[in-house]
Structure 1
Amino acid sequence: MIIDIIGDIHGYADKLTGLLEQLGYVHNGQYFMPPDGHRALFIGDLIDRGSQQLATLEMVFAMLDADVADAVMGNHEYNALAFATLDPGHNNSHPQRYLRSHNDVHTRQHEAFLAEIPFGSETHQYWLKRFYELPLWLETEYACFVHACWDVDSMAVLKPLLTATHCLTTHALEITAQKHTLPFEALERVLKGVETALPEGLVMVDKDGTERSQVRVRWWLDELNTRPIHQIARAPSSGLAQIPKDAMAENIDFALKTHKPVFVGHYWLTGNPEPLSIQVICTDYSAAVDSGYLTCYQLNTSASLPLNAANFVQYQHD
C-alpha cells in the first residue's frame, strides 16, 4: 500500500485538485478515487487563508466518508472549534467570552473561513461537528502521523480526555483551551510544536503580528539543550536576527520516543523537499502562499524506512 501524505491545504482547493490528479486520483462524480493500492492521508490545516474553504472541506470529507483517505486535526481546525465555543467558566460575561478570543489577530487568521461559512450558520455548525471527527494523531504499525509534533508524553496527558480514536470531545476542547494548564501545554505540543523561551526581556513578532516570548524549535534535531537557539529555532530570518547569537536553548523537555517514521505538516517549509531527519518528514511546503507548493510524500507501507527525498511529489501550480 502507498499512503499519499498531503500537507497543509489551507483552503486552496484548486491546488488540491491539481495534486490529486497529478497523483493519479480520478473524480467519480462523488469523490476522488485513488489509484489501485493507494490511500490518501491529510496532515491537518485544511482551512483558513485561501479562498476555497468550502470546496476544500467538501473534497477532503467526501474522501473520508468514502473510506479512501484519513486525516488528522491541525491547529487551525482546533482553533476554529475554540473560536466558536463559549467558555463555560464565563457564562455571565458581557460580551460573551469564547475559548479562543475574538481579538483582531484571531479574527484575521480565521476571516477566510468565516467569509464562506458565516459564524453561527447551519453550515458553520455542520463543519464544526465534522472537525470533531478528526483525531489528534494516528499511529499504524508502519508510521506515526500528527500535525506538529509526535510527543508521547503530551499524548499521555491528552488520552484520558479523548475518545478511543483520539478525537476531541466538547469537554476535552474546554479543558485543553485553558491556558497555563498541563492539558493546554500538551495540546500545544501536539498541534503547534515544541518551543523554548527567548532570553529574558526579548520578544519576537511572528508573521501574524503577534509578539512572542518563545520560539518554536526543530524538535527533530538531536541535543536540543546543548545548542544556540539560532541553530535549532524554526523562525523567519527577521525573527532570528533579534536573538543574540550566543543565546542558548535551555530546559527543552522533549525526546522522540518511537522508532517509526513520523509525518507532520505545520512548518511552512520552502525549497526542495527533503527529510528533516532520518526519521521525520514534513509535507507542509507553504501552499498557502503563491511561492509555495502543495506537497505529498508517498509512503510505501511495506518499506517505510529509509525515508527518501525521491518520494516527494509537488503540484507545480505556476
Structure 2
Amino acid sequence: MIIDIIGDIHGYADKLVGLLTQLGYHHNGQHFVPPAGHRALFIGDLIDRGPQQLATLEIVFAMLDADVADAVMGNHEYNALAFATLDPNDNTQYLRSHSDAHVRQHEAFLAEVPFGSELHQYWLQRFYEIPLWFESENACFVHACWDVDSMAILKPLLTEDNCLTPHGLIATAHEPSAPFDALERVLKGVETPLPHGMAMVDKEGTKRTRVRVRWWLDALNTRTLYEVARAPVSALAQIPSDALAENIDFALKTHKPVFVGHYWLTGTPEPLSNQVACTDYSAAVDSGYLTCYQLDTEQPLPLQPSNFVQYRHDLTSDSDQ
C-alpha cells in the first residue's frame, strides 16, 4: 500500500486537483479515485487563506466519505470551531476571540461559508469528524507534533477515534490548563521561553516571548536556542547566538516514521530527520507548492527525499490545465 500524505491545502483546490491528477487519481463523477494500491491522507489545514475554500472541502470530504482517504485535524480547523463556539463561562465571548487578527485569519473561509449560516454549521460538524491524530501499523500522522504525553492528556476529552467532542473543544480552549497546553503541542508544535526579558516579533507582527522549536532534532537541551528555534531569519537575529535551549520537555516516543504539516517549509523537499517528514511546503502562497510524501507501508523507513512529489503549478501550461 502507498499512502499519499498531502500537505496543508489552505483552500487552494486547483493545486489539490493538480496534485491528485499528477499522482494518478481520477474523478469518477463523485470523488477522486486513487490508483490501485494507493490511499490519500490529508495532514490538516484544509481551510483559510486560499480562494477555493468550499471546493477544497468538497473534494476532501467526498474522498473521506468514499473511504479512499483519511485526514487529521489542523490548527485552522480547530480554530474555526473555537471561533464559532460561545464560551459557556461567558456567553458574550467566543472560545477564540473575534479580534481583528483572528477575523482576518478566517476571512477567506467565512467569505464562502457565512458565519452562523446553515452551511457554516454543516462544515463545523464535519470538522468534528476529523481526528486529532492517526496511527497505523507503519506510521504516525499528526498536524504539528507527535507528543504521546500530550495525547494522553487529551484522550479522555476525545472519541475512541481521537476526534474532538464539544466538551473537549471547551476544555482545550481555556488557558492556562493542561488540556490547552496539550492541544497546542499536538496542533501547533513545541515552544520554549526566550531568555528573560527577551521578545521577538513574528511574521504577523505579534510580539512573542516564546519560540517554536525543531522538536525532531536530537538532544534538544544541549543545543543553542538559535539552532533549535523554528522562526523567520529576522526573528532569529534577535536571539543571542550563545543562548542555550533549556528545559524543553519533549522526547519523541515512537520508532515509527512521523508525518506532519504546519511548518511552512520552502525549497527542495527532504525529511526533517531520519524519522520525521513534513509535507507543508507553503501551498498557501502563490509561490508555494502543494506537496505529498508517498509512504510505502511495506518499507516505511528509511525516509527518502525521492518519495516527495510536488505539484509545480507555475510550470503547468495553459493547455494542461
The question of a shared fold, defined as TM-score above 0.5 by the shorter chain, is answered with yes
Match of 2:78 in 1: 78
Gaps of 5+ in 2: 315-321
Match of 2:100 in 1: 104
Corresponding letter in the other structure for 1:81: L
Match of 1:288 in 2: 284
Shift of 1:52: 0.5
**In structure 1, distance between residues paired with 2:16 and 2:280:** 13
**What SS does structure 1 have at the residue aligned with 2:41?**
strand
Q: What is the correspondence of 1:149-188 to structure 2 with a 5 Å cutoff?
A: 149-188=145-184
Residue 317 (structure 1) aligned with residue 313 (structure 2)? yes
Shift of 1:209: 2.0
Aligned with 2:132 (options 129, 136, 139):
136
**In structure 2, distance between residues paired with 1:252 and 1:88:** 33
Match of 1:247 in 2: 243
Match of 1:218 in 2: 214
**In structure 2, distance between residues paired with 1:208 and 1:112:** 17
Corresponding letter in the other structure for 1:18: G
**In structure 1, distance between residues paired with 2:80 and 2:138:** 31
Match of 1:256 in 2: 252
Shift of 1:210: 1.6
Shift of 1:205: 1.6
Shift of 1:201: 1.9
Shift of 1:212: 1.1
Detail structure 1 runs of 4+ shifted over 2 Å in the superposition.
none
**In structure 2, distance between residues paired with 1:208 and 1:17:** 29
Match of 2:143 in 1: 147
**What SS does structure 1 have at the residue aligned with 2:240?**
coil
**In structure 1, distance between residues paired with 2:207 and 2:19:** 35
**What SS does structure 2 have at the residue aligned with 1:164?**
coil
Partners of 1:54 and 1:116 within 8 A in 2: yes
Match of 1:42 in 2: 42
**What SS does structure 1 have at the residue aligned with 2:78?**
helix
**In structure 1, distance between residues paired with 2:119 and 2:235:** 39
**What SS does structure 1 have at the residue aligned with 2:122?**
helix
**In structure 2, distance between residues paired with 1:246 and 1:291:** 34
Match of 1:56 in 2: 56
Residue 270 (structure 1) aligned with residue 295 (structure 2)? no
**What SS does structure 1 have at the residue aligned with 2:102?**
helix
Residue 5 (structure 1) aligned with residue 1 (structure 2)? no
| Cα distance per residue 1:26-45 (max 9 Å; x no partner) | 01111100000000000000
**In structure 1, distance between residues paired with 2:197 and 2:28:** 57
| Cα distance per residue 1:104-135 (max 9 Å; x no partner) | 11111111101111100000000000000000
TM-score by length of 1: 0.98
**In structure 2, distance between residues paired with 1:123 and 1:70:** 23
**What SS does structure 2 have at the residue aligned with 1:97?**
strand
Shift of 1:100: 0.3
Shift of 1:164: 0.2
Corresponding letter in the other structure for 1:273: P
Partners of 1:10 and 1:45 within 8 A in 2: yes
Partners of 1:227 and 1:248 within 8 A in 2: yes
Partners of 1:105 and 1:210 within 8 A in 2: no
Match of 1:204 in 2: 200
Corresponding letter in the other structure for 1:186: A
**In structure 2, distance between residues paired with 1:191 and 1:63:** 23
Q: What is the correspondence of 1:15-34 to structure 2 with a 5 Å cutoff?
A: 15-34=15-34
Q: Give the % identical residues.
A: 79
**In structure 2, distance between residues paired with 1:11 and 1:209:** 23
Shift of 1:249: 1.1
Gaps of 5+ in 1: none
Corresponding letter in the other structure for 2:247: N
Match of 2:318 in 1: none
Match of 2:317 in 1: none
**In structure 1, distance between residues paired with 2:150 and 2:158:** 13
Partners of 1:5 and 1:41 within 8 A in 2: yes
Residue 90 (structure 1) aligned with residue 90 (structure 2)? yes
Deviates more, 1:154-163 or 1:241-250: 241-250
| Cα distance per residue 1:272-316 (max 9 Å; x no partner) | 000111100000000011221000000001110111000000000
**In structure 1, distance between residues paired with 2:122 and 2:199:** 39
**In structure 1, distance between residues paired with 2:141 and 2:169:** 21
Corresponding letter in the other structure for 1:152: V
**In structure 2, distance between residues paired with 1:62 and 1:143:** 24
